[in-house]
Amino acid sequence: MQFNILAKRRLTLALLAGLALTGTAVQAQTALDDVLKAKVIKIAIPTDYPPYGFVGIDLKPQGLDIDMANYIGQKLGVKVELIPVISANRIPYLQTRKADLVISTLGKNPDREKVIDFTAAYSPFFQAVFASKSLSIKSFNDLVGKSVGVTRGAMEDQELAKVVPAGVDVKRFEDNNATISSFISGQVQVIATGASVAGTIMTKNPGLNTEYKLLLKDSPNFIGVGKGEDKLRLKVNEIIAQARKAGDIDKMSQKWLGRSAGELPL
């Protein structure tokens, strides 16, 4: 039974990939006009990646990416149709024009740039050091004498190893869950982790007063548009630039990630 489903899924993926190949060839630059004519924009968002995109108690998607999607819809003056996607199928949805935009913690890399285009960055994604507000941590030297929990072998473990001075009590745990438990139960005072994990800790345990302290590594998110859809891409870039000027980008980042967006690449 399991095998059947898997086989089917694989077939669907293969078909999607096939469609994608033919799709890009005939794609004309009409996405923006189509959206404005239909008065609906289809935006692919995550529902499995808090705080960027997750399902709330009311079973509706919410999060930074969803806020951004609604923001763009509002600026374009069209209705937003949210399409839940997972990491693996975000790009195929765009290639097959099942979505006009992908706002789903999408990082930019050369391989992806071959098949889709990217707008300016709209939100930060980062590994950082987090701790309670009552703890004063201004630099990595302030970590001396404190216990820092981190998941062994994760990106943040490697980044942390590069910057921490001697005398910091780094405790390495087996997986994210153990690291989170150690921080929530107070076994470690400081946690080094990704923005999404920290965001979850903040929303689920507001009593801990966790806040962003120090940056370990930045890798911001971009919005994906279909290859060659320059009109739509430029329009979204315009909206992002205005949102940045108006402080709305910072507001969203502050709301969901607990820190301002900082310098985002264009």
Burial 174-203 (b: 16+ CB within 10 A, else e): eeeebbbebbbeeebbbbbbbbbbbbbbbe
Residue 19: Cβ-neighbour burial (10 angstroms; 0-12, 13-18, 19+): middle
Least distance CB 193 / other proteins (angstroms): 15
What lies within 8 Å, CB to CB, of 171 at 6+ separation is: 147, 148, 149, 150, 182, 187, 188
User: 130 or 222, CB closer to other proteins?
Assistant: 130
Least distance CB 107 / other proteins (angstroms): 23
Say how far apart CA 251 and CA 244 lie, in whole Å: 9
Least distance CB 223 / other proteins (angstroms): 34
> Which residues of the shown chain bind other proteins in the complex (CB under 8 A)?
149, 152-153, 157, 171-174, 178, 181-182, 185-187
User: 96 or 151, CB closer to other proteins?
Assistant: 151
User: 27 or 181, CB closer to other proteins?
Assistant: 181
User: 35 or 188, CB closer to other proteins?
Assistant: 188
Least distance CB 213 / other proteins (angstroms): 20
